[in-house]
Amino acid sequence: MASELSVLFRRLRTWAMLLALAAIPILIAAAVKLSSHPVAPGRGPPFLDRITQNGLFVGVTAMIVSVPLFLPLTIGVVAGDTIAGEANLGTLRYLLVAPAGRVRLLLIKYAAAAAFCLAATLTVAAAGAMAGVALFPVGPVTLLSGDTIGVGESVVRSLLIAAYIAVSLLGLSAIGLAISTFTDVPVGAMAATIVLSVVSQVADNLPQLEWLHPWLFSHYWLGFADLLRQPISWTSFGDNALLQAGYIVAAGALAYGKFTSKDVLS
Amino acid sequence: MTRPWLRWLPAALVPVALAAAALAGSYQAGAATSLPHKTAEEVIAMIGRADVHSLSGTLLQSSELGLPQLPSVGPTATQGPASVIELLSGSHTARVYLDGPAKARFQVMDLLAERDLVRNGNDLWLYNSADNSAAHMTMPAEPARTAAPHATPTPGVTTPDVVAQHFLAAVGPTTDVTVGDGTTVAGHTAYQLVIKPRSTGTLVDSVTIAVDSASGLPLGVDVRARGQAAAAFSLSFTELSLSTPDAALFSFTPPPGAAVEEKATPQLRALPGKTGQAPQAKAAADRPTITGTGWDAVMALPAGTVPADVRSAPTLTQLTQPVAGGRALTTSLVTVLMLDDGRVFAGMVPLERLQSAAATK
């Protein structure tokens, strides 16, 4: 497990992706700081107009912006690479020569992908907080309900949001892992995972498919706003966790079926 | 590797198990419960006696009016005049907190936004997080009341109770009232009061009110339209606790940086933040007139009550259809006729009845 994590986090690609994610909040903060026109309320991404008043909103805005595309993109790359990448490099059979067992390998690969989910969201949150503190005044934070909370509690809520998003991405990671067992071409698995996340989000916006919405793994992705209400509404957190758990079990079973019955030749 | 198909077994079984668990969960939620028998009169009397002073709960409102669905792309879709029409389709979640007759908080939870209504004594605050605007009103001083809050609700707080009272007021000789099977709403066992208008002139087929078997509080209202299986309008609690909410919820100070507006008399009957419906002090002549009684009553608004910019809003033109002398919005439950001369007619009746009401004026 430790060796798997060190392999993941020693790769140049992983660091490049984390840096790109960190650039999003910095870009947002710099753009708002340098623009001469004040942002009108209700224009652009939510909370964009609040940034000038309170730097702590940079992290929240950056997370809203990165959830639909950037985070799934990086997750797709990491999760799609898990098995197919080893197969492509020809290292998969050496991993299986060790008496570790295929199920254990799957679990370790998935744990590493899940660790990346957490690292990616925390990167966005931390870079946002730092950029906001550096460029804008910091003060009490206004919640969606109109109540204000202190800086300390707002940090707690930001961490909760990061946790929510990390949990939201676990289902996608599991899907990426399952796809990865079906192919020896890592790029194919990555692309398929990312395409699935886009398809799921498009379907979530089509009112004609309303019956399907609660079953889509991206359905609760933007539900973390419920953590910015007063009092906190935990319903969407619980629903989201349950849904993602369902996807993990289903995709995990699929990955198990394919990977344990697969002839590993490379 | 003797039997490779065995390894695929979990992949096949897990989705089946998940679907079964989800189905069992939803089946359990709507399962019929057996309650001691009560007549319709007794259940209506229970609602009248309901003595619920404080509650906190989550409400789910959904409409299936047969209108074309408006695409809701992102959080920006709920701004502007569209938000009036937004209530006519799709579903909404709101949280409601009540403590005595003078303290109320109502939160309409939108995607990445929220609209709030806070009442504490005579102070009434509206807050909309989408444009960070707040409005303050002072309620007219009222004589001390002893009644439960459901008798005189805070304007704008739409609970099943308020809607149920509206329909119960229509109960009369033109209505059949029966008690259906017991049900469970938000974990509370409830009687189902079914109100069925006898008149064929209305679009309403039946109204079902779920009444808490313990407290007599209406927990949910379903309105069914003629010839439609799903409820055309439904409002019910998904979570409900009858304990006193945290007092801090009712003290509201506008957040720094918010645009605060002082408004006159609160006359809103609508959800907070629904467009800039400035509550205008209406002259007596501008009052809506109501013709007919009961279910097929028609409400008429004289010319000038509906602002021209609302009438010409693109979303509204999209939803309405041209008819002789104006435009009409026809849904499975409510029909609105907007004449070119500015008069507006509305009612839970077919379009023909509105047109004949307009012609007799």
Task: Report if pTM > 0.95.
Answer: no
Query: A167: which residues sit within 8 A by CB, 6+ positions away?
Result: A237, A240, A241, A244
Instruction: Tell me if chain A has a CB within 8 Å of the CB of B241.
Output: no
Contacts of A41 in chain B (CB under 8 A): 130-133, 259
Contact A205 B7 (CB under 8 A): no
| Lowest mean per-residue pLDDT among A137-146, B88-97, B281-290, B315-324 | B281-290
Stated as kind and residue range, the H or E segment containing A32 is: helix A12-34
- A-contacting residues of B 63-102, CB under 8 Å? 69-73, 75-76, 79, 90, 95
| Lowest mean per-residue pLDDT among B65-74, B127-136, B284-293 | B65-74
Contacts of residues A196-205 at CB distance under 8 Å and 24 or more positions apart, as own/partner, are A196/A172, A197/A72, A197/A75, A197/A76, A197/A172, A198/A69, A198/A72, A201/A68, A205/B71, A205/B72, A205/B73
Indicate whether B280 pLDDT > 70: no
What is chain A's length? 266
Region B164-178 average pLDDT: 82
pLDDT attached to residue B290: 76
Contact B73 A205 (CB under 8 A): yes
Percentage of residues in chain B with pLDDT exceeding 70? 75
Indicate whether B79 pLDDT > 50: no
| Low pLDDT (below 50) residues in chain A | none
pLDDT attached to residue A48: 75
Q: Which residue in A51, A64, A144 has the most chain B C-beta atoms within 10 A of its own C-beta, making it the best mutation to test that interface? A: A144
* Strands in A115-198 per DSSP E: 141-142, 148-149
Across B258-290, b (16+ Cβ under 10 Å) vs e yields beeeeeeebebeebbbbbebebeeeeeeeeeee
CA distance A154 to chain B (A): 15
Question: Is pLDDT larger for residue B224 or for residue B314?
Answer: B224
ipTM: 0.77
CA distance A15 to chain B (A): 30
Indicate whether B142 pLDDT > 80: no
From the CB of residue B145, how many other CB atoms can be counted at a distance below 10 Å?
A: 12
Instruction: Tell me if chain B has a CB within 8 Å of the CB of A183.
Output: no
Q: Which of A154-168, B102-116, B268-282 has the highest mean pLDDT?
A: A154-168
Maximum Cα–Cα distance across chain B: 88
Among residues A179, A164, A166, A141, the alpha carbon closest in space to that of A21 is found at: A166
pLDDT attached to residue B272: 38
Work out whether the CA dihedral A88, A94, A95, A96 comes out positive or negative: positive
pLDDT attached to residue B307: 66
pLDDT, averaged across chain B: 76
Indicate whether B342 pLDDT > 80: no
Q: Which residue of A has its CA nearest to B57?
A: A233
Distance CA A152, CA A149 (A): 8
Contact B7 A257 (CB under 8 A): yes
Region B25-53 average pLDDT: 79
Among residues B117, B119, B137, the alpha carbon closest in space to that of B127 is found at: B117
Contact A41 B109 (CB under 8 A): no
Please, which pLDDT band fits residue B157 given cuts at 50, 70 and 90?
Answer: confident
Question: Is pLDDT larger for residue B272 or for residue A238?
Answer: A238
| CB–CB contacts below 8 A, A to B | 103
Contacts of A229 in chain B (CB under 8 A): 107, 109, 114
Please, which pLDDT band fits residue B262 given cuts at 50, 70 and 90?
Answer: confident
Q: Which residue of B has its CA nearest to A228?
A: B112
Q: Say if residues A140 and A218 touch (Cβ distance below 8 Å).
A: no
Please, which pLDDT band fits residue B180 given cuts at 50, 70 and 90?
Answer: confident
Work out whether the CA dihedral A6, A7, A11, A13 comes out positive or negative: negative
